[in-house]
Chains A and B, each alone.
Chain A
Amino acid sequence: MIRTESLTKVYNGKAAVDGLDLEVGEGEIFGFLGPNGAGKSTTILMLTGMIEPTGGRCLVDGIEVAKDPLKVKEIIGYLPEDVGFYGNMTGEQNLDYFARFYGMDARERKERIAKLLELVHLDGVTQKAGEYSRGMKQRLGLAQALINDPKVLFLDEPTANLDPEGVREYRELVEHLAGEGKTIFVSSHILSEVREVCRTVGLLAKGRLVAQGTLEEVARALAPSDGDAVRIVVETRERLPELEDPEIISVERNGTRAVVRAKADIRDRLTETLFLEGLHVREMRIEEPDIEDVFMAAYRR
C-alpha cells in the first residue's frame, strides 16, 4: 500500500531523508520509529504530497505521490504533529470546511461530521477551536484526518498531547480503524506507544532506514552481535558447580546464578546435569536482548 524507492529529501545541502526504501502492506499498522530529527516527519510530508522529494519516489496505493498529489490526498488522511485549526471556527465548522474539498454535499457532510465528532468524543462541544485544549485539538485532528474515510492514515506523534484516558481511546480507535482494513502509518519516537498498537515497525536514524519488520525481528537485527552464540541464564537454589559441556564457550558465574555462552541451545542437557547433581533449578532461559535497550542504542548511533 505504501512504498518508497530511494526516497531522498535534501535541505540546504543536508539530507533529511537519505535513500529510504520502505514497504508497508495493506491493512498493516506500521510504526515509524526514530529519534527527533531522524526524518520521520519529512518522510510523512513527502508521502502525503505536501513536499516534493529531492530524489527517488514514493507511492501510495500504486499512485506516485509527486506526480498526482491530489489523487493521493483523496485516499489518505493525515494527522500532523501539533495539529492546528482555525481558532475562530467551531470544530464542526473546521471539519465542514475541510469536507467541502472532497465534493461532499451538505447532507453527506453533516452526517459524516456528526459521526466523527461522536467517535472522538467532541460531539456537543460548541466552543471555538481556539479555546480547545491540546488534547481536544489532537482529537479533532484525528477527526479531520478521517473526514474522507481514507484508505491510508498517517499519524504523526498521535499521542503527544493526549492524557492517559485519551491515549487509551486512541489505541482503541486505531484498532477499530485497522479492523476496517485501513492501513495505518504511525510515526513516533516513543517505543512503548508504537509497541502497543503496531504490528510492524521501521526504525529511522539520520534519514536512513536502519531496520524493518516485526518488533522482535528489528530488535534481533539491532542487538549487539555475539556471533552465533546463545546466552543462557541459569539460576539454582544451591551454589552452582562448574558447568562442563563441549558446546559451552564461556560461563559468567555469580554464586547461584550464571550466564552461559554456548554454541547451541543446550538448556535440556544443562537441566539434566544439574538435576543429576541434586541441584534445584529455579531459572533456565535464553537471554533475549531488551528491546528498549536495543532501540535506545540504535537511537544513539
Chain B
Amino acid sequence: MAVDRLLNVARKEFSDHITSRRFIIILGLLLVISAISIHDGIENYNNSLESYNEQLQRMQELEDPYTSWMPQKPSIMFVFISMMSYMTMLGGILAIAIGFDLVSKEKETRSLKSLLSHPLYRDEIINGKALGGVGALGFAMALALAIALGLLLIFSIVPTLEEFAAILIFGAVSLGFLLAYFAVALTMSTAAKESGNALIYTLVIFFAVSSLLPMFGAMAADAFAGDPPEMPEMPPMPREVVRTSSGGGYFVSTASQNVVYGGADDPAWREYEEEMQNYIDKRRFINDISNLLSPQMNYYTVAIAVTNPQIMATMDAPVPYGMAPEEKPGLAEALGRVWMNIAALIVFPSAFFAATYVKFMRMDIR
C-alpha cells in the first residue's frame, strides 16, 4: 500500500464530505444546537459557581463547626454533559449520513470500475475512504469543541490544564462514538447493492444497539440472575439505596435493596447480605456485558467519567456505604474505572472496519 495513493483517495473523500450539502446541513444543525446547549450549560455553571461562593462565604461568616465538610467547586466539564445527548442523536445521524453510500454510490454510478482501472489497490481505496470519513468527523468534532471553548472564553471561563485535557478527551471519546456508526454505515454500504438498502440496514443496527440491546440486557439480567434472595426472619429495617445522576438527557440510576449495619453479627443475616451482594453483582455483570455492545452506553459511561468523575466514583463505591468518596477522583482514575467501555468503543468500529475491508476486497465488480 502506497501512502500517496491512499492519501489521494482520502483527500478526495474528505473534500467530498465537507462540501456535500448533506454534511453541511447536519453539521450546521449540530453546531447550532451545540452552541445553544453550551450557552445554557455556561449559565448553569455560573449559577452553580455563584451558589458555591455563597456557601463558602456563609461558612466563613458562621465560623462553621462542620469544618470537615466543604462545598465542592463546580467543574466546567458540567457544561459538556449537555453535549452528550445530542451527540448520540445528531452526531450519530451525521456519521451515518457520510458513510451509508460511500461504496454503494460508487457501485451505482459505476465510478468504482473507472477508479479501479487506474494503478491502485483495493485496500488503498477502502482505507482512503475510511480515512476521509474519519477526517470529516474529526473536523466536525473539532469545530464543535472549538465553538464550545470559544463560548467559554467569551464568558470569561478559562479551563485549567486538567479541564482542557478533559475537554480534549471528551472530544476524542465523542469522535470514537461517531466512528462506531460511521463504521456500521460503511460496512452496510459495502455489503448492500443499493444506497437505499444500505441506509435501512444501518438504521436497523443503529436502533438495535442503541435501544433494543440495553433492553435485552436488562431482560437477560432478570432471566439469568434469577430471583433476589429471601430475607431472613425478623430482619433489621431495610433501607433502599437509590443513587441517581442526570445530565443533558442522560439519566442513570442504580437501585438496590440493602440493610443498615447492625445485624451483621447474625450469621443468617450475614449470609443474606452476601447472597444479595452476589445477586446484585451478577445482574450488574450481565447488564454491563450487554451494554458493552452498545456504543451509546459505552459513550455515556466514558463521557460521564470524563465530565463528572465524582458520579462514577459514587456509582462504583461499595453498596452499603453508597456515597461519594471524600476525595474527588482524578481524570486518569475515572478513565481507569471505565477501561472496558473505552476498549469497547475502540473494538466496535474496528470490527466493522475489518468486516468492510474483507467484504470490499472480495467484492465482485462486474
Contact = CB atoms under 8 A, between A and B. Distances in A.
Partners in one complex: yes
A80 B118 contact: no
A74 B8 contact: no
A88 B116 contact: no
Interface string A38-54: 00011001001011000
B16 interface: yes
A85 B118 contact: no
Interface in A262-283: none
Contacts of A50: 113, 116-117, 365
A85 B119 contact: no
Contacts of A83: 110, 113-114
B39 interface: no
A10 interface: no
Interface of A: 41-42, 45, 48, 50-51, 70-71, 73-74, 77-78, 80, 82-88, 97-98, 100-103, 141, 144-145, 147-148
B97 to A, nearest CB: 15
Contacts of B8: 97, 100-101
A225 to B, nearest CB: 36
B119 A102 contact: yes
B114 A141 contact: yes
A286 to B, nearest CB: 44
Most buried by A among B8, B19, B366: B366
A80 B119 contact: no
A77 B119 CA distance: 10
B119 A74 contact: yes
Contact of B5 (A71, A80, A101): A101
A59 B16 CA distance: 37
A41 B112 CA distance: 15
B47 interface: no
Contacts of B111: 84-86
Given A85-B111, A100-B8, A73 B366 contact: no
Interface in B3-30: 4-5, 8, 12, 16, 19-20
Contacts of A42: 366
B205 to A, nearest CB: 27
B109 A101 contact: no
Most buried by A among B109, B117, B120: B117
Interface string B38-81: 00000000000000000000000000000000000000000000
